[in-house]
Structure 1
Amino acid sequence: MEARIVSYRRGRHTMKGNQLLIEIEGVDSKTAASKFIGKRVLWVSPGTKKKEIHGKITSTHGNNGALRVRFSKGLPGTVLGNKIEILD
């Protein structure tokens, strides 16, 4: 299953580099999104090296089905808008 990276988790003055907000197509409510909490995700870098960074869905974000994901390392800013794979 795939999801789209929307934004970093951030506040007014700070940005969390290893926490991102994602949206899954077809999921548009908090209750539907809560079924994905605890699942693992994988981001594979484009290019020839294919670097993999793993993460975990930690909680929902808002009432419209967005999810928070915490990664082991920070992701570059070029990932915004890209696809991410949900493993479990």
Structure 2
Amino acid sequence: MNREETATTEVLNRLHRAQGQLAGVIAMIEAGRDRRAVVTQLAAVSRALDRAGFKIVAGGMRQCLAGQQDGKAPPMTEAELERLFLALA
């Protein structure tokens, strides 16, 4: 497995975990759980999504630095990567 496939697998794993966490948050709200506990879990979901996003941006940066193309689209420009990064901020 190459670096890009590994990174994709890691991102998908993070997103699946976040999906499970979000389902847990929804269940907590439906069960009337304490708001503090709900917000704590919601913050964990948010961090998981942020980390997945940063992993995607890091992969794009690595691809640009290496000058690689996946054959599907040209590498992102520095400005495009910056916009993606700032979208997560």
Normalized per residue, the structure richer in helix is 2
TM-score, normalised relative to structure 2: 0.22
Normalized per residue, the structure richer in strand is 1
Structure with greater Cα Rg? 2
